[in-house]
């Protein structure tokens, strides 16, 4: 695993780069990067039509862009736990390995509106993706 810190908007990554972010089970997507993704790619309806669980993972394709929606909480007003984020990241790791995907772009996942401790999330990413060749491009605005 390699964690690469990048300045700039996660949606400015090349279209063939998988973008990973967190949402709630109800997929409201009304704030933060989830709102930007909904406004750019209109993914909410497809997510809501998919059978989903919390914790969970729903990947949506829009042309060359793939968006991995990590479901880390039941309701948009809730806050996730490190445990729900970990379980969603484990599902993501399985998806990446099964599909031969070696990198993804994300924001400071779980740390913005969800307010998980940044250093705890970094430790979690390292633990989940340890012993993989996956590159994580973490975008900071």
Known active-site residue 73 = yes
- The DSSP H or E segment spanning 39 is helix 32-41
Q: What is the pLDDT of residues 79-102, one digit of tens each?
A: 999 999 999 999 999 999 999 999
- Residue % of the chain over a pLDDT of 90: 98
Give ∠ CA 123-86-68 in degrees, rounded to 5.
110
Q: Domain limits of the chain? A: 2-140
Known active-site residue 114 = yes
DSSP annotation of 17 reads: S
Q: What is the pLDDT of residues 17-58, one digit of tens each?
A: 999 999 999 999 999 999 999 999 999 999 999 999 999 999
One of 9, 16, 114, 127 is an active-site residue; which one?
A: 114
Average model confidence (pLDDT) across the chain: 96
When pLDDT is averaged across residues 120-124 and rounded to a whole number, the result is 97
Topology classification of domain 2-140: 3.40.220
**What was the pLDDT predicted at 141?**
84
DSSP-assigned states of every residue in 108-127: STTTSTT---HHHHHHHHHH
One of 9, 73, 78, 79 is an active-site residue; which one?
A: 73
């Amino acid at each position: 695993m390699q964690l690469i810190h990048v300045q700039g908007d996660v949606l400015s990554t090349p279209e063939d780069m998988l973008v990973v972010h967190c949402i709630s089970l109800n997929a409201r997507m009304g704030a933060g990067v989830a709102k930007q993704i909904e406004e750019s790619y209109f993914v909410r309806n497809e997510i809501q039509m998919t059978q989903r669980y919390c914790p969970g993972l729903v990947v949506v394709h829009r042309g060359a862009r793939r968006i991995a929606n990590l479901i880390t909480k039941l309701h948009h007003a809730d806050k996730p736990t490190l445990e729900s984020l970990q379980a969603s990241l484990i599902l993501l790791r399985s998806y990446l390995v099964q599909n031969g995907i070696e990198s993804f772009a994300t924001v400071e996942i779980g740390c913005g509106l969800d307010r998980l401790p940044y250093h705890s999330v970094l430790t979690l990413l390292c633990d989940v993706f340890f012993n993989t060749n996956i590159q994580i491009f973490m975008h900071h605005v």
